[in-house]
Copies of this chain bind each other. A is one copy, B any other.
Amino acid sequence: MKTAIPEASLRRLPVYYRSLQAMMANGVAQVSCADLARVLGLDPTQVRKDIEMTGIVGKPRVGYELNELVRWIENFLGWNRPKEAVLAGAGSLGSALLGYEKFRRHGMLIVAAFDIDPQKIGQQIHGREVQPLMFLPDFVRQSHTQVGVIATPAAAAQSVADLMVAGGIGAIWNFAPAHLRVPPGVIMQNEDLYHSLASLSFKLESRREMAIA
């Protein structure tokens, strides 16, 4: 059933989700793909295909029940079943991530934080005590934590990933600017600003060239 979902479609669902919530707040009850497409400036067919993925069936001429659609998206993405996560690296980025309470309503709950720096170990950050990095594998193993968040410097990232894998992690969300190697079967999600910087910079350059030509 859930076979072959385009990555791009998955990444568009949160966009719809937010628009839908805003509409709900405005008291709207029903919505069509055409409506969504208009509001977001996207192609209506694409919106329809993306929403079809979730499995919801709509009514011709009307569209979908708004709150029903929101629940289908939450369920499809698993956002109504938060997965536990551990964080490695309690620097400024890591601390910020620990503070994002909204992650919980978007499929993820950070339950523990780890760092290698003795200065940080023992500190409380947003209600969680920073533990020694070496405790991470056992923690993951015993709690069956599914997600590992890496917010360390690039140099440490691979060894931290190895610790997570050793504990049997299912997925890694990597904020360090480093290409990490993990065994097949472990899901890897990179959040690398330099990827974006490359794309952005190149597009600006070509835009300028186009203007000259």
Contact = CB atoms under 8 A, between A and B. Distances in A.
A5 B202 contact: yes
Interface string A44-81: 00000000000000000000000000000000111101
Contact of A173 (B5, B7, B196): B196
Interface string A2-32: 1001010011011100110000000000000
A41 interface: yes
A179 interface: yes
A108 B13 contact: no
* A: interface residue count bin: 35 or more
Given A18-B179, A92-B92, A77 B201 contact: yes
Contacts of A204: 78, 83, 107, 146-147, 170-171, 187
A156 interface: no
Contact of A96 (B15, B92, B181): B92
A194 B108 CA distance: 11
Contact of A2 (B7, B10, B193, B209): B209
A202 B78 contact: yes
A143 interface: no
Contact of A106 (B181, B191, B194): B194
Contacts of A179: 15, 18-19, 40
B202 A76 contact: yes
A76 B209 CA distance: 12
A92 B170 CA distance: 30
A117 to B, nearest CB: 18
15 contacts: A7-B199, A10-B198, A10-B202, A11-B198, A11-B199, A14-B177, A19-B179, A41-B181, A77-B205, A106-B201, A107-B200, A108-B200, A171-B204, A173-B200, A189-B199
Interface of A: 2, 5, 7, 10-11, 13-15, 18-19, 40-41, 76-79, 81, 83, 92-93, 96, 100, 103, 106-108, 146-147, 170-171, 173, 177-179, 181, 185, 187, 189, 191-207, 209
Given A40-B181, A187-B200, 8 more contacts: A2-B209, A14-B192, A15-B195, A18-B177, A18-B179, A77-B202, A107-B201, A107-B204
